[in-house]
Structure 1
Amino acid sequence: MKEDETKDDHEPFILDDPDKLKALAHPMRRRMLTHLNIHGPATSTTLGELFGAKTGTTSYHLRQLEKYGFIEEIPERSSGRERWWRRAEIPRDMRFPTLDQLAPEDRAVLGEFLRVGFEEDRALMERFPAAYRADPDWAKGSRGLARMTKEELNEFHDAYIALLLKYSHRPEDAPPDARPIYVRFFTLPADEP
């Protein structure tokens, strides 16, 4: 464990609050959150220019992300109407809820959250061949087929998360040559259409 990590870094946080899922299911909010995570603090004006949105729109979405604890204002950088925002300290091991962890009426929110996320993943996969041609040392991939029991898959997933946490740095602790890297992991049964 890195010295700056606490036990909470390794405790899974289940994203089972439907309002938080709704906040993260919006494509603009997801892009804003990704930008803050990769590039650091920004204002609603900066984000509006970047994403082709009006400042009022970006301000609204930033307030929604703040309301649910995903971002926070940087008071020492903010002045007058200009508010600076950064990603809040959130658990590093954030996981989807299972259907039984949500009320039946909230399951559609999880569906939308997953749909939007996998649209982003599909776009990343489309970028992979060009990224690999540009620099294969930074674009890694693996595809496989495995046979596991449900218990083994759960153990494999937990080991994967532990490995990801072991080798990833928070922005403020990253070495100078570290880059933000998209990492995706998913499994699904191969014997179902």
Structure 2
Amino acid sequence: MEEQPGVQVRTLDARSLRGIAHPLRMRLLDALRFDGPATASQLAAKLGESSGATSYHLRQLAAHGFIKDAPEHGKGRERWWQAASQGLTFDDSLLNHSSPEVRGAAEMYLHEVAHTQARDLSTWLGDRTAWPEEWQRTWDMSSATLRLTPELAGELIGKMHALIDEYRGRVTDEAEGDSARVRLHTHAFPLTTE
């Protein structure tokens, strides 16, 4: 993920990668980033996990600086958590790190991101009929295969990200019309040909 104007983005390094490279931690962080502050019990119910597991993994995320307390939401002994940033940047050099543990965490992180993206699309496909007709007509699942050099692929990726950034912040109020959060996944990678 690249940095986004006006959005606080955290760059993953070898230490922080160890703190996030776990499927439940990644789901917890996404829930806090996209749905706002919550307690361990609320997140457990939402994600179908035990509150003990969510509490443990929330503490790990906090220890690595991914989340922080949200005291303005707390009542009594309830501990509320919120995301410390709204995005993550992955440095490809982590895949070639001298530590096998870091390389393994980097691989796991990327595979979990890919799994999450596939799950998002599958959820939409299963739930799309529950959405208004306008949304059922306004979605995309397309692919294109091009012959490119690494330089041209980098240029294309940069232009796709720039185009997406043009739409960031154009609708800021949840109550505005029939707005919804829209998830965009971009993938660009070379294909093995035999």
TM-score, normalised relative to structure 1: 0.77
Q: For 1:81, what is the secondary structure of its paired residue?
A: coil
* Residue matched to 2:182: 181
* Residue matched to 2:156: 156
Give the C-alpha shift of residue 101 in structure 1: 5.7
* Residue matched to 1:20: 16
Letter of the 1:89 counterpart: S
| Corresponding position: 1:147 with 2:153 | no
* Residue matched to 1:32: 28
Alignment of 1:49-64 (within 5 A): 49-64=45-60
* Residue matched to 1:97: 92
TM-align CA RMSD? 3.0
* Residue matched to 1:109: 105
Q: Post-superposition, which runs of at least 4 consecutive aligned residues in structure 1 deviate over 3 A?
A: 98-101, 127-135
- Distance verdict in 2 for CA 1:166–1:87, change over 3 Å: farther
**Counterpart-to-counterpart distance in 1, 2:114 and 2:28:** 17
* Count of matched residue positions in the alignment of Structure 1 and Structure 2: 183
Letter of the 1:98 counterpart: S
Give the C-alpha shift of residue 99 in structure 1: 4.9
* Residue matched to 1:190: 191
**Counterpart-to-counterpart distance in 2, 1:19 and 1:170:** 35
Give the C-alpha shift of residue 100 in structure 1: 6.3
Q: For 2:71, what is the secondary structure of its paired residue?
A: coil
8 Å contact 1:44–1:58 — kept in the other structure?
yes
8 Å contact 2:157–2:188 — kept in the other structure?
no
- Distance verdict in 2 for CA 1:30–1:93, change over 3 Å: closer
* Residue matched to 1:78: 74
Deviations 1:70-99 (A, max 9, x none): 222112222442111122234x46234235
Give the C-alpha shift of residue 109 in structure 1: 1.1
- Distance verdict in 2 for CA 1:121–1:63, change over 3 Å: same
* Residue matched to 1:87: 83
**Counterpart-to-counterpart distance in 1, 2:47 and 2:35:** 14
**Counterpart-to-counterpart distance in 2, 1:20 and 1:127:** 29
TM-score, normalised relative to structure 2: 0.77
**Counterpart-to-counterpart distance in 1, 2:75 and 2:170:** 27
Give the C-alpha shift of residue 157 in structure 1: 1.6
- Distance verdict in 2 for CA 1:57–1:130, change over 3 Å: closer
- Distance verdict in 2 for CA 1:161–1:81, change over 3 Å: same
Q: For 1:98, what is the secondary structure of its paired residue?
A: helix
Letter of the 2:153 counterpart: L
**Counterpart-to-counterpart distance in 2, 1:74 and 1:93:** 20
Q: For 2:77, what is the secondary structure of its paired residue?
A: coil
Letter of the 2:175 counterpart: P
Q: For 1:76, what is the secondary structure of its paired residue?
A: helix
Which consecutive unaligned segments of at least 5 residues does structure 1 have?
A: none
Q: For 2:29, what is the secondary structure of its paired residue?
A: helix
